[in-house]
A = this chain, B = another copy of it.
Amino acid sequence: MSRTTHITPVILSGGAGTRLWPLSRGDRPKQLIALAGNETMLQATARRAARGEMFAAPLVVAGGDHADMIEEQLAVAGAAPAALIVEPCARGTAPAIALAALEAGEQAMLLAMPSDHVIADEEAFRAAMEAALPLADEDWLVTFGVAPERAETGYGYIERGAPLGRGVFQVERFTEKPDLATAEAYVAGGRHEWNAGIFLFRAGAYLRALEEYAPEILVAARSAMEAAERRGARVAPGREALAGLDSRSIDHAVMEKAARVAVAPVAMGWSDIGSWDALHALGPRDADGNLIAGDALAVDSRGCLIRSDGPVVVALGVSDLIIVATERAVLVVPRGESQRVKEALDALIARGKEE
């Protein structure tokens, strides 16, 4: 099998999470917002794997509601996609990556990654990819692991097995969302990594694994791509075949089951910014521990995250609050409790104030 010269980034932009409500909403999900710094998460993701010596132009998989915004943002970032695959319905990462793999062709080396993660140390990320590439060339499915910083119960964990080369290990076991005691044992044991949701593999290797472990996904994806309508870079797969699928993650459909699965542990300053607290932890914070973004002001206040994309916000004499404002909504919640955002949304939905 030939050595890979170019990697094709597959940017997964299908999510529309509400964990950063009120800033992220259905019509403007987290990856399309400038959360950390001046570029959006999508732009940062594209720039991280920008076309050049190492990477080809990216494939992007996204929902139709966001396609225009995605094209605009990638144009601004100078990272026009080779194809923007517009999912007719969201069915999780396993079908999404299957669509991209079929578009790219069996020989393509794919780097599949979410569009809404922060990676502070991009050198470390590239070094890990280079370490993983020889295995991917031998048709291993490689995932990237992040050393767990805390006993997070919301993530997947990967247990390292035998070393396969410098910086790459066979995967012993995947565990999705362990209970707290298990997560604590994993953190203490030192043999587990967080599953960062970033994967390197040859398209053909992934498609063959699908054929073995989740053939219905492969069949549906093939059928959808055969029925695809194309206009410019946009590819609109057929709805019918995909609509019949259950939603499946690549972890659940393939990685937890396949034999040749490897993990490349990497310390790269990774965060999925899964909450306002995570964003506050990421910084930068001022001398009083406040993270201020947008049209906001802290007066005699400490340890706050204060952000506005709408009316000017003034926090006066308060501590350890998260205050986020848009033109449509304002959230005030204590720091450390931002995972409760869903309660705010549920209360609004109960009042009929939010879709």
| A330 and B325 contact, Cβ closer than 8 Å, known pairs A299-B344, A311-B310, A343-B299 | yes
8 closest cross-chain pairs (CB), A and B: A314-B344, A316-B333, A313-B330, A316-B344, A299-B347, A315-B332, A312-B329, A317-B337
User: Which B residues are in CB contact (< 8 Å) with A120?
Assistant: none
| A353 and B313 contact, Cβ closer than 8 Å, known pairs A318-B334, A332-B321 | no
A36 contacts B by Cβ under 8 Å: no
How many residues belonging to A are interface residues under a CB distance threshold of 8 Å? Answer: 36
Q: Do A312 and B328 touch across chains, with their CB atoms under 8 A apart?
A: yes
**Bound CA–CA A344/B317 (angstroms):** 10
| A330 and B323 contact, Cβ closer than 8 Å, known pairs A300-B343, A340-B316 | yes
Residue from B316, B321, B341 within 8 A of A337 (CB atoms): B316
**Bound CA–CA A270/B352 (angstroms):** 37
User: Which B residues are in CB contact (< 8 Å) with A341?
Assistant: 316
Nearest-neighbour CB distance to chain B for A167, whole angstroms, equals: 43
Interface centre among A330, A334, A354 (most CB of B within 10 A): A330
Question: Known pairs A297-B344, A318-B333. 15 more at Cβ < 8 A?
Answer: A300-B343, A311-B327, A311-B330, A312-B329, A313-B332, A314-B329, A314-B331, A314-B347, A315-B333, A316-B341, A316-B344, A318-B321, A318-B332, A318-B334, A325-B330
**Bound CA–CA A306/B205 (angstroms):** 56
Residue from B312, B347, B348 within 8 A of A330 (CB atoms): B312
Report the copy number of this chain in the oligomer.
Answer: 2
Residue from B295, B328, B344 within 8 A of A311 (CB atoms): B328
Chain B: CB-nearest residue to A323: B332
A231 contacts B by Cβ under 8 Å: no
The secondary-structure label for the interface of chain A is: strand
Nearest-neighbour CB distance to chain B for A166, whole angstroms, equals: 47
**Bound CA–CA A329/B330 (angstroms):** 11
8 contacts between A and B (CB under 8 A): A297-B344, A299-B347, A300-B343, A308-B330, A311-B327, A311-B330, A315-B332, A318-B332
A3 contacts B by Cβ under 8 Å: no
User: Which B residues are in CB contact (< 8 Å) with A328?
Assistant: 311-312
